[in-house]
Amino acid sequence: MISMKIIAGMTLFFVFELVIMSGGPVSVNAQTLQCNTPAEKVQCQADLAQAEAEAKAAQAQLDQAEAQSSSLKQAIAVLDAKIKVAQAKIKAKNLLIQTLGNDITQKQSHINNLESHISKGKETLAQILRKTNEISSDSLLEVLLSQSSVTGFFQDLDTFQSVRESLGTAVDELQSEEASTTIEKDALMTRQNIEVDAKYEIQQEQKNIQSDQTQKTQLLNISKGNEKAYTSLLAQKQAKATQIRAALFTLRDAAAIPFAQALQYANMASQKTGVRPAFILAILTKESSLGVNVGKCLVTDLSTGNGRGKDSGVIFEKVMKAPRDTEVFRTITAALGLEWSTRSVSCPIGSATYYSGRGYGGAMGPAQFIPSTWDLIKKKAASYLGLNSELDPWNPAHAIMALAVFVDDLGAGAGTYSSELRAACKYYGGGGSTCVYGRSVMTLVDSIQRNKIDPLAGM
């Protein structure tokens, strides 16, 4: 059987296919390339290298165009360059997918063969164990008395020893094949993730092309008029950028801050960890939304972790796990000069009274860290911020840096669709390669990047 890890990977792939279907088709390379034979694989790799070089050259032309003085003509040239970059990237990613396709099929076939061997090996092992038990269940004296001659006794003894040796050999072979299967499954998972990421990037570049072509059409229509209309358009974009910067960014258990400030914190965290600002802000947005459902609670008893609703006064059990989190919570608040009984934390998910399997609340601040996790990452986050003092989970700048550190440890720093999706699921506590929370976060990532971050570029 395919392991849960592989099932999770395939689930990610199929879920992503549904996302692609709902968001528009992913183009497939117009050329029906085959990458099966050694010669074909060499050609595919050469085509891929050439496509990647073309994408790099197109990016260099774009950088050069953006560096020139702003004018209506130059703005159109920049859009043309952006479209060429996107087209070149789509070509390269389609070639990458083509080169991966046959490898994925071969890897899956090899895994199936290994698992078939393992299944047969386990049955052989079971037979040997049964035979060993059958022989060893009788005492040597009984075996000797049951034989008509001493020669027969030693023949049975030799048979027993042979079975024992076969047992050891079978176990060794089974362990070796299981180790090989694990390696092959990891390799397959890597290839599947690369393919999923490539398809996601194609979808994003298609959106970029559509947006850039729309802007180009708008500029071409302006060019038929005069530069004054272009100046007016720039003023409109500047006004929109100003509006985006000033809009309040909602934070969980902390006062809202202007989006420009939140982006500044996220950019700083990104520079230290490599995690995309849009991903950081998407997690924060999602956590603020969850606050509506999970609500605010206060811990009233550190020995049990029980508490009550901050506004409702409703009694809750399992607000915070004791003593694992409650003792750390006491230490954190004391170091900050705060009273632990007045600091808002998340309520437990589920009913107001204890319900087995529902889990604890007790998460702190905008990034919703439980105290024990915060304690593990606060030193690294503080060093990135250049702080010698205690990190404050309710301080937006501190929470955002800590969030970036944590999701980077979970793999989000790789910056790919699959790595960010997994990191979001792990952040939520669900684990696995895909989850509802993670997919919601990735939808927010795209929205924040396109509707809030991109419009600020160059403004």
Q: Which of 28-37, 146-155, 180-189, 412-421 is predicted with the least confidence, judged by mean pLDDT?
A: 146-155
φ and ψ of 362, to 5 deg: 90, 10
Distance CA 180, CA 172 (A): 12
Residue 165's pLDDT band (boundaries 50, 70, 90)?
low
Mean pLDDT of the chain: 79
SS3 of 81-124: HHHHHHHHHHHHHHHHHHHHHHHHHHHHHHHHHHHHHHHHHHHH
Bridge partners, 251 (sequence order): 254
**How confident is the model at residue 426, as a pLDDT?**
92
- Answer with the residue of higher pLDDT: 414 or 161: 414
Amino acid identity, position 428: Y
Alpha carbon distance, N-terminus to C-terminus of the chain: 55
Query: Over the stretch 67-86, which tens digit does the pLDDT of each residue have?
Result: 776 788 888 888 999 999 99
Supply the pTM of this predicted model. 0.72
**How confident is the model at residue 138, as a pLDDT?**
52
322 pLDDT higher than 90: yes
Query: Over the stretch 384-400, which tens digit does the pLDDT of each residue have?
Result: 999 988 899 999 999 99
Three-class SS of residue 307?
A: strand
Bridge partners, 308 (sequence order): 298, 315
Query: Over the stretch 236-263, which tens digit does the pLDDT of each residue have?
Result: 889 999 999 999 999 998 899 999 999 9
**How confident is the model at residue 106, as a pLDDT?**
64
**How confident is the model at residue 51, as a pLDDT?**
83
**How confident is the model at residue 27, as a pLDDT?**
43
**Residue 458 to residues 70, 220, 238, 245, 343, Cα–Cα distance (Å):** 11, 21, 10, 13, 40
Burial tier of 63 (Cβ tally within 10 Å: 0-12, 13-18, 19+): exposed
Distance CA 150, CA 181 (A): 47
**How confident is the model at residue 50, as a pLDDT?**
87
For the residues 22-42, what does the mean pLDDT come to? 56
Query: Which range in 38-42, 65-69, 150-154, 450-454 is most confidently predicted, on average pLDDT?
Result: 450-454
421 pLDDT higher than 90: yes
- Answer with the residue of higher pLDDT: 429 or 103: 429
Query: Over the stretch 256-314, which tens digit does the pLDDT of each residue have?
Result: 999 999 999 999 999 999 999 999 999 999 998 876 666 789 999 999 999 999 988 99
**Residue 51 to residues 88, 236, 445, Cα–Cα distance (Å):** 7, 37, 28
